[in-house]
């Protein structure tokens, strides 16, 4: 009798409770995705936006964050309800020939993403220590492979939360050194404007925010919790908590991206300094804000490059394992191969790049081509009653997601054409 009571007691305690502090237990998956929102590619776009147009393009950060929250929440929704990531769900639903094409392009997108992230880390090492880009790429690559091959999901989440926190603190420090006109900033965040010649930067900011690998990654990290194995009431609770996690994490990303634009606006734009590359931004910060500010800038870029390389590798491992109907598991050969193909493939590609700036452009072009495939795959799966059951997208959700998908697709096509024409 007593043993039965004790057994039931611990069973009862194991289930999550709806308490405010309980939310903290579910912070993690969203922050992994936030890393892709503050990767080196975003740094370049944000510095250009603030440096060229001041506070005028802050609204793009707000709009892109809203769109990102809805898409990422939908991807996580799939992981919670089905217990499958986007890659696994695709393998279980699509015809094998079509699935191989769809997920094959997703692996290429992950490699393209990793190329930009490794390159960003290498640029930061060059800023800090004068290490050549190719050697810096190798150093970052080996460090990332060590992190991924020796750490579990939970440990990786802690690494990433630490990196994101340091990046956030770095920009808080940078903001403390400049004079921000908060009235203009508030207007910039909510009032759309299209200054002359700003369209390429607008498309770059929005097009770089929603990234294919992040949609795969979010569903994978969420499904690793296996909440779908709990009873229905627990699934409903987790859907609420997940949205809170996604919302909180994307707001963190919004704040960091906004800080980048504000710093560029109060330094480069105010001084009428034309900045087009990260190295140039680093060099110009020294006379404007002092040597400490430029060092902090480079350290934050290094953390961004490392953390985004980790998530790109995780996404590549998840996508590749999903092709064979397997979960992301670092002890699984498919996961190991996927990580290796993604990161080593990206590093090899960097060795054939003579111009780092063009390398970033080419990686964005590949992402622009693949992104619509991932978005509409996700909408198809999450709208399917066969896949999601009663948790499939509502009519309003379908309309909203299709509008977002078409906007993102249109802007990415325009971005691609701007590179070609």
Is 235 a domain residue?
yes
The CATH number for 327's domain is 1.20.1740.10
> For the whole prediction, is pTM greater than 0.75?
yes
User: Which residues, 6+ apart, have CB-to-CB distance to 205 below 8 Å?
Assistant: 42, 45, 46, 49, 57, 60, 61, 64
Is 132 a domain residue?
yes
Eight-class DSSP state of 394: P
Q: In which domain, by residue range, is 167 found?
A: 25-420
* pLDDT confidence of residue 17: 43
Secondary structure (3-state) at 28: coil
- Residue stretches of the chain with pLDDT short of 50: 1-21, 23-24
CA distances to 26, 134, 224, 340, 357 from 139, rounded to whole Å, are 33, 9, 30, 15, 20
Is 19 a domain residue?
no
Is 10 a domain residue?
no
Overall number of domains in the chain: 1
Is 3 a domain residue?
no
Number of alpha helices (DSSP H) and beta strands (DSSP E) in the chain:
18, 0
Written as six digits, the tokens of 306 are 């490392």
pLDDT digits (tens, 9 = 90+) for 336-386: 999 999 999 999 999 988 877 667 667 766 777 788 899 999 999 999 999
Task: Calculate ∠ Cα 172-176-179, nearest 5°.
Answer: 125
Is 341 a domain residue?
yes
Owner of token pair 């569903």: 219
* pLDDT confidence of residue 154: 66
Is 2 a domain residue?
no
How many CA atoms are closer than 13 Å to the CA of 30, on its beta-carbon side? Answer: 29
Eight-class DSSP state of 20: G
Dist. CA 83–CA 69, nearest whole Å: 21
Is 354 a domain residue?
yes
């Amino acid at each position: 009798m007593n043993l039965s009571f004790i057994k039931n007691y611990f069973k009862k305690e194991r289930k999550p409770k709806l308490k405010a502090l309980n939310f903290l237990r579910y912070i993690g998956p969203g922050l992994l995705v936030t890393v892709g929102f503050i990767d080196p590619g975003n740094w370049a776009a944000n510095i250009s936006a603030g440096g060229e147009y001041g506070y005028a393009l802050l609204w793009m950060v707000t709009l892109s964050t809203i769109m990102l929250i809805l898409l990422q929440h939908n991807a996580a929704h799939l992981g919670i309800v089905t217990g499958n990531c986007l890659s696994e769900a695709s393998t279980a639903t699509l015809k094998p020939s079509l699935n191989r094409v769809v997920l094959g392009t997703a692996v290429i997108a992950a490699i393209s993403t990793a190329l930009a992230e490794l390159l960003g880390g290498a640029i930061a090492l060059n800023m800090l220590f004068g290490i050549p880009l190719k050697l810096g790429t190798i150093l970052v690559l080996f460090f990332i492979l060590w992190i991924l091959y020796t750490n579990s999901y939970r440990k990786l989440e802690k690494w990433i939360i630490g990196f994101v926190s340091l990046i956030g603190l770095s920009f808080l420090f940078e903001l403390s050194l400049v004079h921000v006109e908060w009235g203009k900033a508030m207007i910039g965040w909510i009032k759309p404007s299209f200054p002359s010649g700003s369209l390429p930067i607008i498309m770059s900011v929005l097009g770089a925010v929603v990234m294919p690998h992040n949609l795969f990654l979010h569903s994978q990290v969420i499904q690793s919790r296996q909440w779908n194995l709990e009873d229905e009431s627990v699934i409903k609770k987790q859907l609420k908590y997940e949205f809170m996690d996604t919302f909180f994490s994307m707001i963190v990303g919004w704040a960091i991206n906004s800080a980048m634009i504000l710093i560029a606006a109060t330094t480069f734009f105010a001084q009428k300094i034309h900045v087009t590359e990260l190295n140039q931004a680093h060099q110009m910060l020294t006379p404007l804000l002092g040597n400490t500010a430029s060092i902090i800038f480079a350290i934050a870029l290094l953390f961004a490059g490392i953390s985004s390389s980790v998530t790109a590798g995780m996404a590549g491992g998840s996508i590749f394992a999903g092709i064979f109907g397997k979960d992301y598991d670092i002890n699984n050969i498919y996961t190991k191969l996927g990580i290796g193909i993604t990161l080593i493939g990206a590093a090899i590609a960097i060795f054939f790049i003579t111009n780092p700036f063009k390398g970033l452009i080419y990686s964005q072009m590949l992402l622009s081509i693949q992104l619509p495939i991932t978005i509409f795959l996700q909408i198809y799966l999450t709208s399917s009653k066969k896949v999601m059951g009663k948790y499939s997208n509502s009519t309003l959700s379908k309309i909203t997601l299709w509008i977002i998908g078409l906007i993102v697709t249109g802007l990415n096509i325009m971005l691609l054409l701007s590179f070609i024409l």
